[in-house]
Every structure is written in C-alpha cells, then in structure tokens.
Amino acid sequence: MSVELIVDPGHGGKDPGGGSNQYWKEKDMVLDISLYQYNRFKELGVPVALTRDKDVYVSPEQRTKIVRDSGAKHCISNHINAGGGDGAETIHSIYSEGHLAKALAEAIFKAGQNIRRVFTRSLPYDSRKDYYFMHRDTGKVNTVIVEYGFADSKKDDIEQLKLDWKKYAEAVVEGYCKQTGRTYSPPRSDEEVAQFNPSSATVKTETKELLSKLHKVGILSDDWSAKIDELSDSDVIGLLVTAINRKKLLP
C-alpha cells in the first residue's frame, strides 16, 4: 500500500552521522525526531512510512529504493548538521520549486530556531544532477532534507537541540500539513503529545551517562562503575531502585 509521505531518519547502525557530539549521536537524535513525527502524522491521518524505525545501517542504495518503492509523494529526510555553523537548513532538489522546503523552514523559525538558509545544490561536474543522493536517486518523490541545527555550533544550537528538538519536530509536522492542505491540530497538551518512543541506543547512552554521574558524586561504588558497560537492563533498574530506597536520589 502506497503512502503520501515517508520520513527518513538519516544514517544509522555503523554510520553515526557527522552531526554528533558529546551529547548525542546524529543517528539517534534524528531517529527520535522521526519516530515522533511518524506518530504525529499518523494521529493527523497522514499516510506515512519510515525508512528505518530502529538503529540499523541502511545504505544509500537501500535508502533511496525504500523511498522510491514507497509510492510516497513527499519525503522528509532528517539530519543534524556539522561544520561550525548555526541554525537550521532545508535543502530541496534542483528540479523542485522549493515550496515545501520553504514552508518547513518557516515553521521551524516560528518554533524558535533561526534559519541559516533554504537552498539547492548540483554536482560540481554536472549541473543537471542534484548533489545529494537523497534528491538525485529518489525518483519522482519530492524530497526535502532538513538539518535542524549544528552539533558543533559555537552559538546556541546545541542547547536548543537538547531542549527543544521536539518543538522543531512538531514544527515540521505543522509546516508539512499546512503546505500540503492537510488538516493540522496541535498536540492535545504537553502531557498528551504523541508517545515518546526513544531509540534503544538513546536509552543506553543516557543510562550510561546517569550511572557515570552517580559514580562521580559517590553514590555508585567503584566496583559497580567498572562494570557499567556490562550491566543488563535489570541490573540498571535494580541499582536505581536501591539508590532511591536508600534515599540516595530523593530528598
């Protein structure tokens, strides 16, 4: 069954993505963004699919084939930028007028992120071909690459993405619906937004960071700290429950 829209979390698996830093890996953040958007689009009645729904490697050839075979009219390819800039970017095909790319950029701007540029790019040795394979090899699908900010920004992108990534993800949902004539309604409330479904890689990374912090402040012993990478899910839960019961984490 064909869909109207396919959402593409960039990178994955052995490819962490260049938009990574000490706080996140690009592949994990864009998966969280994409899963959020997927759930919201379903809520709003938009026929939608994903190129991946977990932390797996998808080659460029596989990724573009998934997009082509989906029957989708539009594709939103989610990324985090790198290179020292600041602000969001949207990129459209040289054969597109860029209406959707502009609409998504405007929506992200209204959500509080500055927009660096909306642009298109061709191959330096062949101006008739798109530079990015997600434009060049996805056939008739209108693909927009969304770069939500810079992982190595010297300004405020890092804090903005840490705190407000869900606002920007929702902005893209709103911008898409309004541009394509779909009925949009905001999340019912902060407590009732589409279920947050973080990737397992994100959960593991943040759990490891929490246990490391507990060790630094003297709550977690050296013996347990040395085994952080070997702990099972039940070990982690047990440690946290024990710390809470002994009033180490709660006043």
* Domains of the chain, each with CATH number or no CATH: 5-180 (3.40.630.40), 200-245 (no CATH)
pTM of the model: 0.77
Please tell me the predicted confidence (pLDDT) of residue 157: 97
Q: Is 139 left (phi over 0), alpha (psi -120 to 50) or beta?
A: left
Q: Both tokens of residue 113?
A: 């992120």
Say how far apart CA 34 and CA 199 lie, in whole Å. 10
| Alpha carbon distance 9, 172 (integer Å) | 14
How would you write the pLDDT of the chain (251 residues) with one tens digit per residue?
Answer: 689 999 999 999 999 999 999 999 999 999 999 999 999 999 999 999 999 999 999 999 999 999 999 999 999 999 999 999 999 999 999 999 999 999 999 999 999 999 999 999 999 999 999 999 999 999 999 999 999 999 999 999 999 999 999 999 999 999 999 999 999 999 986 554 455 666 767 776 777 778 877 777 777 788 877 877 777 777 777 777 777 766 555 55
Q: Write down the H helix ranges in the chain.
A: 26-43, 60-69, 99-110, 133-136, 157-180, 200-216, 222-225, 233-245
Residue type at 179 in one-letter notation: Q
